[in-house]
Copies of this chain bind each other. A is one copy, B any other.
């Protein structure tokens, strides 16, 4: 009866294997994976419901990218987080999930320029189509002509001076930001023609064009009123443009801030503009 013997041996071997602690733990992990998988499928169905509801509410194109909502989701999860997964990894996992759910909502086109490939690829995972452009201006033109949903540009500076051109694009606003996953530094801004939405905490960006001789006085005025100046750039021999920001907690508060800016009365030619509003998770929260 060699055949029977062999089959008993195999059975005993299998039972022993099934009793090994590692085997039992791995079976538990598989069960958790199944549950996560089921929830991801269920979440996709709900995202489908969201799209249908949005279509009912609006005849025009639906807004797929919702950075303020993403921010609130992440903040809520960070608050309830515990265990050995780092907050950075938690954010990174949810960015991956959010990218996946953006991609199932329809064709979502991203354009970007500058040396920000890595951060763009990390933020908007492999499911989303991203096209790199030679210049920031060509990104803004694409956006203005509805050839893409969002444009991502390097954080404003004297060198990355796309922000001085924004006055030519009245329908484009900054609506989001991309952070370095490790340092938490804001490395790029997201621009779109969609409506500005407010999260529970936001950074509001403004530009002012001002006569050169008033530059010092106006800068002091902004600083005294709690605004932080990011960059100043000479436009003509007689005028400067200043980019500055402040933290705000609501749309109402932003209206108040704009009233403060408008209260500066020492320059008749001043032109101030709300460039956009974006939320970003504080470094302190990421680093615990």
Contacts and interface: CB of A to CB of B under 8 A. Distances in A.
Contacts of A57: 22
Contact of A49 (B25, B36, B103): B25
Nearest to A83: B41
A76 B33 CA distance: 10
Nearest to A76: B30
Nearest to A35: B39
B83 A92 contact: no
A73 B126 CA distance: 21
Interface string A19-44: 00110011011101111110111111
A184 interface: no
A95 to B, nearest CB: 9
B85 A100 contact: yes
A126 B121 contact: no
Tier of interface size on chain A: 35 or more
Copy total for this chain: 2
Interface in A70-126: 73, 76-77, 80-86, 88-90, 92-94, 96-97, 100, 103-104, 118, 121-122, 125-126
A104 B118 contact: no
Contacts of A25: 46, 49-50, 53
Nearest to A69: B26
Nearest to A34: B80
A126 B178 CA distance: 15
Contact of A181 (B35, B76, B126): B126
Interface string A125-159: 11100000000000000000000000000000000
16 contacts: A22-B50, A25-B49, A25-B50, A28-B46, A29-B50, A33-B76, A36-B39, A40-B93, A41-B85, A44-B84, A48-B84, A85-B100, A86-B127, A88-B127, A96-B96, A126-B181
